[in-house]
Amino acid sequence: MRKRREPCRAATTAAAAAVVPPGTPAWITTALIEQTLRVWQPHYAKSLTTEDAVMMVKEVDRLLHVLTGVRTPARK
């Protein structure tokens, strides 16, 4: 069985210091960015930035739109 990798110190620091970058859609909150960094950082060798987290969230939103054909009013 594969052992779960422990979060690195950079993941904890980046998540704690997350700030919503200018131009980010309003539905992407600081909490969402922090959670994204906490979840994904252990799977990346490089330190992820808040911009990386925003891009990940936006791409997942696009994927859900393509798969379901549904867009919520807040994300139009």
Cβ neighbour number for residue 58 with a 10 Å cutoff: 14
pLDDT tens per residue across span 39-52 = 999 999 999 999 99
Whole-model pTM over 0.85: no
Each domain of the chain, given as residue ranges in start order, spans 18-70
State yes or no: pLDDT of 1 exceeds 70: no
In contact, 14 and 35? CB cutoff 8 Å = no
Cβ neighbour number for residue 56 with a 10 Å cutoff: 16
